[in-house]
Amino acid sequence: MSIAHPNESEGNRLRAELDALLGRGQNTYTPTQVVVDRASGCRLWTIDGRRLIDFASGVLVANLGHGHPGFEARFEAYRKGLPHNAYNLTTRPLVEASRRLIASFATAKAQKLLWAASGSEGIQKAMWCALHRWPERPIMLATRGGFHGKKGLAGDVTGEQSPNPNVRLVSFPLDNELSPADVERELAAIDAEFPDRVALFITEPYLGAKGSYHPPKWYHKLVQHWCEARDVAFIFDEVQSCHGRTGNLYAFQSYEVEPDLVVLGKGLANGVPAAAVVGRADLIDTLDYGEASDTYSANPDTCAAVCAVLDVFAEERIVDHCRAMAPIMAQRLRGLMDRFPFVRAVRGEGLVYGVEISDADTANRCVLEAYCGDGTAGVHFLGPLAQKVLRVSPPLVITEPELDEAFALLEAAWARI
C-alpha cells in the first residue's frame, strides 16, 4: 500500500505507480516519501508544489546543496568531452582528483588511494588491504553498533553482532557511560585471546545509524594508540562524515587522530556516486592487479565531481561556513528540546545531529508534521534512525535565515503533536 497525502494528486499517483514497480527493500522507510520535482540550494519542491527546506542532504551527500552553480559549472568543465566510463584508461580528472584528494589530508600516512563506486565497496577494499598485509592475522575488530554497509565484509562488521567468526566487537561510548579503563579491559582480553592475530580495527568517527552518538576524543586516541603498538591497521569509516560535516574537512581532524586508512564517500562528490580509500602505501599496495578493480570506480564523472567539490570548498570556504552555522544549529535544536517534552536528547557536532524522540510513533509523526509544515512550506527529514532518532544534516551551505525559517516551521508543526 503506497503512502498518500491530502491534496497531492500527482504525488499520490506516482507513489502508487512506483509501489507496483519497485521492491520495497530498495528504500528505507520514511513516512513522507517525497516526490521531488526540482531542487535548488537547500530547498526541494514537490511535484504538487510544496516547498521544503532540506534537512537530509540526500543522505549526507549534497554538502554543497542542490544545483550549486559553481559546482555544476566546474563539473561540466572537468568532464567535457570524456566518456562516462573509462575502465583501465587514464584521464586528467583521475590524476588530478587522486593527487588533490591525497594532498587534502595533509598527513604523513596519506600516501596512496583506491577508488570505489560506493561506501560499502570502499570499506571492503580497505579491509582487504589489511587482511592481505597480514594474511596470518584473521581477526577483525569493529565498534559495536556501527554501520559500514550491508554487503560482504562491510556487513560483517556492522551492527550488534556478526555472522563472521573472525569478527570481534568492541564497545563504543554511548552517552559517555564508557570509561577508558573499560575499553582497555576489552582490548586486553582480545590481546590475551588472539595474540598477534588482529589485522584491523574499523570504526566510524561517530555512530550515525545507531542514533548519532559522538564520542569523547579519548576514545579514538586510545584505539589508535592500541593499534599502533601492535601494528594493527586503524581504519576510519568517514563515508558519511567526510567533507566538512563535523566542522573540519575530515572527521579524523576533529577527533585529533591519524588513521592508517580512511574511507570516504557520500559528500565526496556532491551526489555523483563516489568513494575512495586513502592511506598508507604499504597497505594499499598489498592488492595486486585486478584485486580492487570494478567497472565504475574512478570513472571520469566521479573524478570530475571530486575536483569540482574541492574547488568550491576552497573558493567558498565551506568548512568555515559550517563552523559558523554549527552553534546556531545546536542552539535551535536545544530550543526544541526545551519546548517539546517528547524531544529527549540532542547529540551532534558541526552540521550533523541526532534528535532523539520519546518513541518510534512520535518520531514518525514528527517527520510527517514537519513535511506538512504550514500547508505550503515544510522541512524534509528522512525516516528515523534506530526507530526514534531524527538525523539533522542540511547542506553545509545553509544560511542563518534558512535555519530561522526551518525552525519556525518545526515549532509550529510539532506543536500539533
Structural domain count of the chain: 2
pLDDT of 388: 98
202, pLDDT greater than 80 = yes
252 and 391 co-located in one domain = no
Q: Is residue 1 part of a domain?
A: no
As separate numbers, helices (DSSP H) first and strands (DSSP E) second, the chain gives 14, 14
Structure confidence by residue, pLDDT tens digits, 322-359: 999 999 999 999 999 999 999 999 999 999 999 999 99
371, 38 in Cβ contact below 8 A? no
Say yes or no: 112 and 246 in one domain: yes
Residue 121 in grid coordinates: 565497496
- The per-residue pLDDT for 299 is 95
Is residue 176 pLDDT above 90, yes or no? no
Whether residue 134 lies inside any domain: the answer is yes
Residue 3 domain flag: no
Same domain, 108 and 247: yes
Do 311 and 324 belong to one domain?
no
263 and 341 belong to one structural domain:
no
Look up residue 255 and give its amino acid: Y
Report if residue 76 sits inside a domain. no
Instruction: Note whether residue 276 is domain-resident.
Output: yes
| Domain range enclosing 210 | 82-316
- Structure pTM? 0.96
Q: What is the pLDDT of residue 206?
A: 98
Do 254 and 300 fall within a single domain?
yes
- What is the C-alpha radius of gyration for the chain, rounded to an integer number of angstroms? 22
Residues 93 and 138 in one domain: yes
Task: Kindly state whether residue 74 falls inside one of the protein's structural domains.
Answer: no
Complete DSSP assignment for 90-112 = --HHHHHHHHHHHHHH-STT--E
Q: Which of 268, 287, 316 is the last residue of a domain?
A: 316
| Boundary residue ending a domain (316, 331, 351) | 316
- What are the tens digits of pLDDT across the range 103-155? 999 999 999 999 999 999 999 999 999 999 999 999 999 999 999 999 999 99
CA distances from 295 to 52, 113, 247, 278, 360 (A): 36, 17, 34, 20, 40
CA distances in angstroms from 115 to 70, 101, 238, 273, 338, listed in the order given: 24, 11, 14, 11, 45
Assess whether 96 and 161 both reside in one domain. Answer: yes
The Cα 31–Cα 169 span in angstroms is 32
Q: Mean pLDDT across the stretch 374-397?
A: 97
The pairing of strands 377-380 and 51-54 is parallel
C-alpha dist (Å) from residue 286 to 111, 115, 144, 152: 14, 15, 28, 20
Clarify whether residues 172 and 246 are in a common domain: yes
Cβ-contact 393, 321 below 8 angstroms: no
Buried b (16+ CB within 10 A) or exposed e, 165-189: ebbbbbebbeeeebeeeebeebbee
Residue 267 lies in a domain: yes
Q: Taking 90 as the threshold, does the pLDDT of residue 175 lie above it?
A: no
Res 390 pLDDT > 90: yes
**Closest alpha carbon to 382 in 195, 209, 224:** 209
Same domain, 168 and 63: no
Location of C-alpha cell 550488534? 160
Assess whether 312 and 330 both reside in one domain.
Answer: no
pLDDT at 12: 96
Domain termination site, one of 265, 298, 316: 316
Residue 60: CATH number of its domain? 3.90.1150.10
| 308 and 229 part of one domain | yes
User: Is 4 a member of any domain?
Assistant: no
CATH number at residue 143: 3.40.640.10
Asked whether the beta carbons of 198 and 230 are under 8 A apart, the reply is: yes
State the Cα–Cα distance between residues 408 and 413, nearest whole angstrom.
9
Please report, rounded to a whole number, the percentage of residues in the chain having pLDDT higher than 70: 100
What is residue 334's predicted lDDT score, i.e. its pLDDT? 97
Which region holds residue 348: left if phi is over 0, alpha if psi is between -120 and 50, else beta?
A: left
